Each structure stands twice: as structure tokens, then as C-alpha cells.
Amino acid sequence: MPADPPGPRVRGGPRDAAAHRARKRFGQHFLHDPAVVARIAAAIAPGPDDTLVEIGPGTGALTAALLDAAGTLHAVEIDRDLARVLDERFGERGLRLHQGDALDFDFAALATGPASLRVVGNLPYNISTPLVFRLLRARDVIRDMHFMLQREVVTRMAAPPGGRDYGRLSVMVQLHCRVEALFRVGPGAFTPAPRVDSAVVRLTPRATLPLTGTRLEDFGRLVTAAFARRRKTLRNALGGLREPAQMVAAGVDPTVRPETLSVADFVALTLAGEGPVGT
Ligand code: SAM
């Protein structure tokens, strides 16, 4: 892997962390604004019985704010140098550090029971969508998730039907979770400053889902097909996956655009199929 060009030195941490130069390939933008850190910690409100998992703790800005209040705090960090510094700094205070890639990480292995994990993180923006999809698959063991993301991604997650922000991400996340866009964070809160605005979102997995197993996979295929041709009519976008008569039986007009359908409409369309979709 090519060496990173030197990034700006990180402000505000202990000596080793301050010497760290941000690595672009790991999407490193470190929070240095204490007011933003405090606001995120207040939104999470960790309790003494909580098991938290922080993804990408970086130089530990959020970690430090969560550690004393949380019962247990795990952290998953890909950068070996930061992992070493974090371990030295927080190991004795009980931080359980896992050096590795969050995209391969077995989150369920940390759970102490159903809905027992609280996942948090100022996520590397380049992997935030696949990471969220991975966490949705571990939904049963997750109580809630608080993430700092690119603001546009939070807008898409929370978008209602009908607008241009509403798409596959909105439908998939909203099927699994209640979505609350909490607050915006400007680029000046980070070192180095990202080019985009950020926002904090809370995702709370639903206790029960209307679809499971292969039906859940059918749902994903239908939603992907629908938004791949979002300017077409539903009849054209879903040609081969659902017949117009099945759409009508599901209470959905075949002549509307896919982007006008609610999550419940996509569920009804999924259930209107007789067998697995697209197989
Ligand atoms: N939480 C810190 C903060 O707010 O200052 C750092 C946030 S920075 C945007 C993202 C962090 O995620 C970095 O520490 C980076 O090294 C780490 N990271 C990047 N890719 C990762 C991955 N695949 N798995 C785990 N950590 C990752």
C-alpha cells in the first residue's frame, strides 16, 4: 500500500495521538471540538449497565467521553498505530480494544443477549454504507446505533417517500430501524476538515420485522430493482419481478414511480409474490 502523504497533525490529544498524521485511506478526520463531543455523548447517554461498541475510535475524542459512563466499552480500530496508542491510553481504564476491520468484525460475538449492544462511531465516510448494511444484519443483538455520517447520507436515511433523497438506502434502513436525524456538524469540528457537512443520526432497530428469511432477501431485490429505474413506472421498473395484477393486489398502482412507494408498500409488494423474487 502506498505511504500516505503527511496529513495535518491532530490537535487536542495526548502526546502520541497529537503526533499522529491523519491517514486518508482510513478516512481519518478527528473530532477536536469538545462541544460536539459532549453533544454526541449526551445523545448516546451511556449507562452503567450498557455495553457499547465504538467503531473507529481514532485518537479517542469520543472514547474518552464515553468510557467512564459506560459499563463496558469495546472499540474496533483498523489503524495499528492508533490502536496501540488507544490501548496505552485507555487500556487500564477498561477499554476493550479490537484492532481490525469493522467490515469483517463479528459484532454479535460481543453481545450479552438480544438488543444488548449500543453501537457508536464517527464513521469513516468511505465505508459507512456497507458498514451500516452489515450492522443491519446483526440487528437482533443491537439496541441502538449513533453515527456521525456525511450529512447527505443521514438525509437519505431519514427521507420520506416522494423526494429525490428517498432511495434504496432510505427504504432498507427504515425497514429495519427507526431513524432520527439528530444534528448537523460543520467541517470545522474536525482535523483535517472534511469537504462535506456531517450529521449525527440515531438508528433504533425495530423489535419485530414484517419480513424474515428469504422474504427479506426478496424485499432487498425488489427495492434494488425499483430504484435502479426510479424514473420509470413501477410496472416497467419491476418487469419480470411482479405482474401488474400483483401490484394491484398489493394495493399499489402500477403506473406510479417507484420513488413514491412507502416502506409498507414495498413490504406488500414482496408478500404479493408467490415465490422467491428473481430466482
Ligand atoms: N472517532 C474518531 C474521532 O471522532 O475523532 C475518529 C473518526 S475518523 C472519521 C474514522 C476512524 O475510523 C479512524 O480512526 C480510522 O482509522 C477508523 N477506520 C477506518 N476504516 C476502518 C475500518 N474498516 N474498521 C475500523 N476502523 C476504521
Q: Which numbered atom of ligand 1 lies nearest the CA of 63?
A: 1
Cell numbers representing residue 153 in the block: 447520507
Q: What is the pLDDT of residue 10?
A: 53
What are the tens digits of pLDDT across the range 72-121?
999 999 999 999 999 999 999 999 999 999 999 999 999 999 999 999 99
What are the tens digits of pLDDT across the range 134-189?
999 999 999 999 999 999 999 999 999 999 999 999 999 999 999 999 999 999 99
Region 120-135: what's the mean pLDDT?
Answer: 95
Region 4-32: what's the mean pLDDT?
Answer: 70
What is the spatial distance between Cα 140 and Cα 138, in angstroms, rounded to a whole number?
A: 6
Nearest CA to ligand 1 atom 1: 57
Ligand 1 binding site (Cβ under 6 Å of any ligand atom): 26-31, 55-59, 61-62, 76-79, 82, 101-103, 122, 124, 127
* pLDDT of 245 over the 90 cut: yes
Give the pairing type, strands 72-77 and 51-55. Answer: parallel
Q: What is the pLDDT of residue 21?
A: 86
Q: Choose between 110 and 13: higher pLDDT.
A: 110
Nearest to 44 by CA among 121, 136, 149: 121
* pLDDT of 11 over the 70 cut: no
Q: What is the mean pLDDT of the chain?
A: 92
Q: What is the pLDDT of residue 276?
A: 47
What is the spatial distance between Cα 107 and Cα 141, in angstroms, rounded to a whole number?
A: 8
Which positions ≥6 away from 107 have C-beta within 8 Å? 53, 117, 119, 134, 135, 138, 141, 142
What are the tens digits of pLDDT across the range 52-68?
999 999 999 999 999 98
* pLDDT of 227 over the 50 cut: yes
With cell 408467490, the residue in question is 274
Q: Write a three-state SS string for 100-168.
A: CCCCCCCHHHHCCCCCCEEEEEECCHHHHHHHHHHHHHCHHHEEEEEEEEEHHHHHHHHCCCCCCCCCH
- Single pTM value for the model: 0.92
Which residue among 4, 9, 54, 77 has the greatest number of ligand 1 atoms within 8 angstroms of its CB, and so is best to mutate?
77
Q: Which pLDDT band, with edges at 50, 70 and 90, does 16 fall under?
A: low
Nearest CA to ligand 1 atom 23: 101
Q: What is the pLDDT of residue 233?
A: 96
Give the pairing type, strands 198-205 and 177-185. Answer: antiparallel
Q: How much helix, strand and coil, in percent to the nearest 5, is found in the chain?
A: 45, 20, 40
Which residue among 79, 80, 185, 190 has the greatest number of ligand 1 atoms within 8 angstroms of its CB, and so is best to mutate?
79
